[in-house]
Amino acid sequence: MTAPFGRFFLPGPTEVVPEVLAAQQHPMVGHRGEQTEALLGALDAPLRAVFRTANPVVIAAASATGLMEAAIRNGVRRRVLCLVNGAFSERFVHIGVACGKDVLRADLPWGETFEPDVVRRLVSQSGADAVTLVHSETSTGALAPLAEIAQAVRETPDVLLLVDAVTSLGGCPIESDAWGIDFVLTGSQKALALPPGLALGVASARMLERARTLPHRGLYLDLIPYDAQARKRQTPYTPALSLLFALDLQLTRIAAAGGIEARWERHRAMLECTERWVADRGEALGVAFLPKAGRRSWTVSCLTVAGERTGGSVAKRMETRGFVIGAGYGKLRDASIRIGHMGDHTVKELEILLGALEEVLRRG
């Protein structure tokens, strides 16, 4: 049943190492008892280190989309500007509409990124009180210049920046506090390399202040109780305990491997490895990066495929060789493939994957 580690390169869920999977077998404990408090206490500092924040990290039993919705419900007073350059950034539009907000969308062709000057202009003209941004657009492999965009957004007073960092947090630099991000969220099954089921996020003081004034935040996704309980090492509702045991071990492993900065570096090396491979062989093999250099995600590479091939056919042929990669996503489904080089993968395993991909592509 179990293939050796290093064959599964979906851009989420990502491959989970056996010992982290096994940590979920910890026996149940009372979710209001001392053991859970101790567990949440143990998670606190290492989670803040990963999010680079002094604020408590909120943990919800939900997929990442749960906290995307929380971002809208708790962060948008009236009008939200959604920066759309792919499928996940478009999801914020759907959530905003579903939550009854006044949604203003700005679109770029898929694969491109919003640049700070454009964002500065859009925000100042929009009349919006919040902006949504996807840092690493998993459908296109494009990485937004988040630090500079955050600075641009803050030039207009009273506008909150809500960031989906689902495939970037844990895989490339994010300074939640230093960059002044009002809400940053991720899911357990991407760069943190855990099984799916946890959504994690951090709200700024500004965000919580805003949330307190908003009616109809809902119940399950109201950030105020999550924040209040997190400060007491509790959760408002039954936490996904098995996943928390896995998270505890994974955070210990991250610290033991040199901390979050070492993890960022490993991901940068995996992007650079992929870039070298495409530069050397891409033209001959009929593949090319969709996003331009300098705007490529450190965790997911989206490569366009030429000719008769489709993303699905390439992914299928990789599977017969024992490797899993992603086809394209949404409207890029046929036109591209996606390699999720994130989580606990290394350059060594990625090189083996790229070797197999080269053989698949050479055969037509």
Ligand X SMILES: *Cc1c(COP(=O)(O)O)cnc(C)c1O
Residues near ligand X (CB under 6 A)? 12, 63-65, 88, 134, 138, 164, 166-167, 187, 190
Pairwise CA distance, residues 63 & 228, whole Å: 21
∠ CA 116-95-176 to the nearest 5 degrees? Answer: 45
Min dist CB 99 to ligand X, Å, is 16
Residue with smaller CB distance to ligand X, 36 or 136 = 136
Pairwise CA distance, residues 1 & 282, whole Å: 33
Residue 283 identity: E
Min dist CB 158 to ligand X, Å, is 26
Residue with smaller CB distance to ligand X, 46 or 66 = 66
Min dist CB 135 to ligand X, Å, is 8
Residue with smaller CB distance to ligand X, 29 or 61 = 61
Min dist CB 66 to ligand X, Å, is 7
Residue for token pair 């949604």 = 103
Min dist CB 185 to ligand X, Å, is 9
Residue for token pair 């891409």 = 282
Residues whose CB falls within 8 Å of the CB of residue 289, separated by 6 or more in sequence, listed in order: 141, 275, 278, 282, 296, 301, 302, 303, 304
Residue with smaller CB distance to ligand X, 217 or 338 = 338
Pairwise CA distance, residues 292 & 143, whole Å: 10
Residue with smaller CB distance to ligand X, 120 or 190 = 190
Pairwise CA distance, residues 225 & 192, whole Å: 25
Question: H-type helices in the chain, by residue range?
Answer: 18-23, 34-51, 64-75, 87-98, 116-126, 146-154, 205-213, 223-231, 241-256, 259-285, 311-320, 347-362
Residue with smaller CB distance to ligand X, 70 or 230 = 70
Pairwise CA distance, residues 76 & 178, whole Å: 22
Min dist CB 176 to ligand X, Å, is 16
Residue with smaller CB distance to ligand X, 36 or 139 = 139
Min dist CB 174 to ligand X, Å, is 13
Residue 248 identity: D
Residue with smaller CB distance to ligand X, 156 or 189 = 189
Min dist CB 232 to ligand X, Å, is 27
Question: Is the distance from CB of 330 to CB of 139 less than 8 angstroms?
Answer: yes
Min dist CB 196 to ligand X, Å, is 6
Residue with smaller CB distance to ligand X, 161 or 361 = 161
Report the relative pairing of strands 198-203 and 183-187 from DSSP bridges: antiparallel
Residue 79 identity: R
- Written as six digits, the tokens of 121 are 């202009």
Question: Strand order of the sheet with strand 8-9?
Answer: 8-9, 324-327, 336-340, 300-305, 287-289
